[in-house]
Amino acid sequence: MAETHVGPDHTAELRGQMVDALVADGTIISTQIEAVMRAVPRHRFAPDAPLEQAYDAYKAVFTKKDEHEVITSSVSAPQIQAMMLERAEISAGMRILEIGSGGYNAALLAELVGEGGDVTTIDIDPDVTARAERLLAEGGYGSVHVVTGDAEAGVAASAPYDRILVTVGAWDIPPAWTTQLAPAGRLVVPLRIKGLTRSIAFDRLNDHLVGASGQVCGFVPMQGAGVHQEQQLLVTGTGEIALRFDDGLPLEPSRLDNAVRTPRAESWTGVRVGRQESFDTLQLFLATVLPGFCIMAVNPDLDTGLVSPSNKWFSMATVDDGGFAYLTTRPTTDPQTVEFGAHAFGPNGPRLAEIVAAQVRVWDQEQRGGPGPRIEVHPAGTPDDRLPTGRVVDKRHSRVVLSWSAAPSTGDQVVPHTPTAQGE
């Protein structure tokens, strides 16, 4: 819907409401981000979307799907874009690389760096870059350099960059993203760790990156050389219950075949959480301390009630000794809270359920309400003795280390990298 059909006053009103909502919820903090989001007409970069959708503060606009109806390009939700821009801390005159094009975010970046700055945006899809280049030129942002190519290699021609913003879901950090940063540069990236995606702001420190736990987010995944697929294990054989592994299947996946034929074990933690309370640090904590961490999903069309997670699409789980356990909740006497617990199947179900429950208690006592882990990204091949203490997640190009501030309170708090049958 073009602005000429509805008048500039209406689009300005909708844009103002969008920004007001993001200021009110604390997403937008700085006056600079507020100003550029009020200035750039978002609907011009989503011309096929209804105006109300283009200016919905919390929803993305999907701009391309493949032959299987899988989304391959989108204009991210304003809340996510504002959050990443705030974490990037961009100032006038900076050189910026955006990985993943759409047009709107590049226009915001161009406003932030001003005439003395430089913005380059790259995407692997020529349809996406052609569209972005056209919309940017029409919007008065023709100075943005639009590049078609595989972002795994970055864009060396315009490096070094003060900031690199990745607006696609990344499983790994390729070397070019670090080497093309200026010595004091910052990389803001939605990084997937053990199946959990967090938008993290990393600062360059010589040959590696240092950051802290970021916000939960979701993005269209990387294509090209950076693509990475989860692996799925069906524990019932019918497709009812699937366990998704981000770094390869367990060494002996067949040992789980008979797990669901055992009685279900339960262990309740006594840890309560508000129904609207965020507990995203618990997700990363369990991914850190449980070597067999994975994500459980239940097919609603085949659901027999064998498992009863709080979220059938996305439940934290783990495998061990031929069994699996998952996190769930149950109501309490207070209608505003629920209690965490663990259900487990397998020959050692009661023990596995208690292991998960015990780690929830550790999180409650030592990490709840805290900042989350320090996250470092080191080059692949970095010796163990040069890494900080923490959980090491090995990827193709990097070794990601999650370190929590509190000392381990149980023997298996910090665990070594667990080999998998088909990991990278």
Residue with tokens 């701009």: 63
Task: Measure the CA–CA gap between 330 and 202, rounded to whole angstroms.
Answer: 37
Task: Measure the CA–CA gap between 22 and 89, rounded to whole angstroms.
Answer: 17
C-alpha radius of gyration, the chain, whole number: 23
Phi and psi at 5, nearest 5°, equal -80, -20
Closest of 161, 164, 167, 129 to residue 148, by C-alpha: 129
Pairing of strands 323-331, 315-320: antiparallel
Task: Measure the CA–CA gap between 242 and 45, rounded to whole angstroms.
Answer: 38
Kindly give the interhelix angle for 104-113 and 126-138, rounded to the nearest 10 degrees: 50
| Number of Cβ atoms within 10 Å of the Cβ of 200 | 25
Closest of 57, 52, 53 to residue 38, by C-alpha: 57
Closest of 288, 273, 264, 269 to residue 357, by C-alpha: 269
Residue 160: asked if its preceding bond is cis (omega within 30°), the reply is yes
Catalytic annotation present for 76: yes
Kindly give the interhelix angle for 349-366 and 280-289, rounded to the nearest 10 degrees: 130
Q: Give burial (CB, 10 Å; 0-12/13-18/19+) of 321.
A: middle
Task: Measure the CA–CA gap between 330 and 338, rounded to whole angstroms.
Answer: 5
Task: Measure the CA–CA gap between 233 and 319, rounded to whole angstroms.
Answer: 11
Candidates 73, 74, 76, 315; catalytic one: 76
Which residues are annotated as catalytic?
A: 76
